[in-house]
Amino acid sequence: MLKIYVAQISTYGRIVATVAEEAGLAYETIPTDSKAPEHRARHPFMKTPAVEITDNGQTIAMYESAAICPYIDDVYNEGRLQPSDPLERARMRQWMAVTDHYVFPLTEERLVLPRIVVPMMGREPREDLIRDALPAIQYYLQVVEDRLREAPYLAGGSFSLADIFMYCTMVAVSLTPEGKAMLSQMPGQQRWMQACGIQPCLEATRWPMESGQAAEI
């Protein structure tokens, strides 16, 4: 049994849940305030997600999705989401890192949060901050597009953890008008998002706000 401690709407919470779905591992998502003092015991840097995995009476705790997801895949899914070819496995790790360090932080902070979350809180987004970030976001999306014109999936020939990481990030981008407009001009990403979107593990973890929008880019 997997417990995922996570913000109510979370890209990385969805990533972990998607890997659990693919592995057939039962899980529960637990809405969590990352700033609550009790959460420090789960994640010393007070971020989400953090997880607890109970198996055969033993419970292990872990944080950082880049560690959690390969562990779940290795232990409960025979590593099927990780290519056996050394180069493709390296490419998988490369694109997971690209998501973690470049694409997600920029798009989340400068587009997804201000365009989607801030209005939910009854506040007006800073349009100047969104506008100023759009050239960099366009460039980052084009880097991904260039890769997906070379290969069907980010690691190469097969669906992997890298695709789950990037797909969940790109779905959030596609829910903004600016992101949807950019992605509509990128045929490699359109094809890839359609191919990923029909994976049962990703269908099972759809956000209510998606309503099939990502597949319609």
Check which CATH number belongs to the domain holding 104 and give it: 1.20.1050.10
- With a cut of 90, say whether residue 121 has pLDDT above it: no
Q: Is residue 95 part of a domain?
A: yes
Within-domain flag for 81: no
> By three-state DSSP, how is residue 28 classified?
strand
Tokens 């932080």 correspond to 105
Range of the domain at 161: 86-216
Lowest mean pLDDT across 93-97, 116-120, 132-136, 151-155: 116-120
**Among candidate residues 146, 9, 157, the one with its CA nearest the CA of residue 87:** 157
Distances (CA, A) of 7 to 108, 163, 165: 14, 22, 17
Structural contact between residues 171 and 141, judged by C-beta atoms closer than 8 angstroms: no
What pLDDT does residue 217 have? 47
How far is C-alpha 29 from the geometric centre of its chain's CA atoms? 15
Q: What is the dihedral of CA 197, 103, 29, 70, to 10 degrees?
A: 80
Mean pLDDT of 29-49: 95
> In this predicted structure, what is the pLDDT of residue 9?
82
Domains held by the chain: number? 2
**In terms of domains, do 71 and 92 share one?**
no
